[in-house]
Amino acid sequence: MDKIVITGGARLKGEVRISGAKNAALPIMAATLLTDKECIIDNVPNLHDVSTMARILRALGGRVSFSDKNNRLIILNKNLTSSDAPYEMVSTMRASICVLGPLLGRLGEATVSVPGGCVIGNRPIDLHLHGLRKLGADIKIEHGYVAAKAVKRLKGREIYLGGPFGSSVLATANVMMAAALARGETIIENAACEPEICDLAHFLNSMGANIHGIGSHVLSIKGVNKLHGAKYRIIPDRIEAGTFIIAGAITKGEVRIKNANPQHLMAVVNKVRQAGSRVDVKGRDICVRGGRQVLPTDVTTLSYPGFPTDLQAQMMSLLTLTRGISVITEKVYPDRFMHVAELNRMGSDVHLEKGSAIVKGVKNLSGAPIMASDLRASAALILAGLVAEGITEVRRVYHLDRGYDKLEQKFSLLGADIKRVKE
């Protein structure tokens, strides 16, 4: 098993290029199940989760090839041999639930293991099931599997997808994909409007789907009889870009982030500016110059366009070094604070209080052996290690490989003293 070893204190400086968005790539890969024609997808990050989704597609009978040289996926799901997504793959990655909708839409049946993924709190799939049932699917959960069947072709309906913590990204994706081949019009109210959902909708339209209202909370999907293949380029990963914005700020560095989409990151840019750093937008580049000191600011995670929950842990690492008190409130996954204990091992002063973290700034962090609990916590702990005094060893970095393409290599090119070693 690998670990990341960091000697803190280096000021990051230089340029970094952002990879394609993991959270767009996975549902788009699932959407290729809706057609028997070839799909070519560019700007795909080389990640463990992408490999897992490719294995799932192959298990269903698809052909998948990936070129790390040009980050291109070529997928052909011409002759699907199965509608069962196996437990050993689905259980490791939550986004694999996205094969449920397209399998149901194309084949009229699907059996998918209840998904796994990072341990960041309770994340039920009830909105997925509600939406697909409204389209006419008969769904049962038995022995850890979701078994769905449509006796007739799915039929468009008006569907409300609101949950206790707002709209659901993956439920919106699943219902939208199933509705693309349904009879009639489907209206999704309180749909997620994250950039990754917009990317999926644009990909589906490039395949011949008829989706309107993209980017809003009301989606209209007029079902078509058949979808064709497409060539498509995935958007940049806003979470990776946000991680590097915060990295520039926490190390008081000068970092130019290339191939980003600044419009997807305005909530993050605003908060990093409030925390004392200079952030300039120049076309598709974002330039960060860390401030002389970190200023306290309060953060509340919300659905897009609010501050993303996937950058909450990284922002906490930055705010541990303020001269004051910051409050971070988690409105998307209220239990997503497992990184707090590890940050406190490094000398931070953070305590939890009913869905919020009270962050009292400290003068400095100190390197320590620490353990990552999930994907974004891994990145947060690495950011803390970049500025900590001494050596930080981050274990369980297999979480990191699920969502960041060569992160330690990119940090190294910016001047960080960081390396991956075998334990």
CA distance 294 to 124: 37
CB 301 within 8 A of CB 331: yes
Q: Residue 116: its pLDDT value, please?
A: 58
Q: What percent of the chain has pLDDT over 70?
A: 98
Q: Residue 114: its pLDDT value, please?
A: 83
b/e for 63-81, b at 16 or more Cβ within 10 A? ebebeeeebbbebbbeeee
Say which CATH architecture domain 22-233 belongs to: Alpha-beta prism (3.65)
What is the identity of the amino acid at 163? G
CB 32 within 8 A of CB 57: yes
Residue showing tokens 């334990």: 423
Identified catalytic residue from 39, 98, 118, 198 = 118
> In the annotation, is 118 catalytic?
yes
pTM of the model: 0.96
Residue intervals in the chain for CATH 3.65.10.10:
2-19+236-422, 22-233
Q: Residue 94: its pLDDT value, please?
A: 81
CATH superfamily, with its number, for domain 2-19+236-422: Enolpyruvate transferase domain (3.65.10.10)
CA distance 199 to 217: 15
CA distance 215 to 200: 11
Q: Residue 123: its pLDDT value, please?
A: 52
CA distance 279 to 288: 5
The closest alpha carbon to 265, from 275, 280, 251, 277, belongs to 280
Q: In what order do the strands lie in the sheet with 299-301?
A: 299-301, 325-330, 356-360, 349-353
Q: Residue 117: its pLDDT value, please?
A: 47
pLDDT tens by residue, the chain, 423 residues: 899 999 999 999 999 999 999 999 999 999 999 999 999 999 999 999 999 999 999 999 999 999 988 999 999 999 999 999 988 888 888 889 999 999 999 999 999 988 754 444 445 789 999 999 999 999 998 888 899 999 889 999 999 998 776 789 999 999 999 999 999 999 999 999 999 999 999 999 999 999 999 999 999 999 999 999 999 999 999 999 999 999 999 999 999 999 999 999 999 999 999 999 999 999 999 999 999 999 999 999 999 999 999 999 999 999 999 999 999 999 998 889 999 999 999 999 999 998 899 999 999 999 999 999 899 999 999 999 999 999 999 999 988 999 999 999 999 999 999 999 998
Q: What is the pLDDT of residues 269-292, one digit of tens each?
A: 999 999 999 999 999 999 999 999
Provide the β-strand partners of residue 279.
288
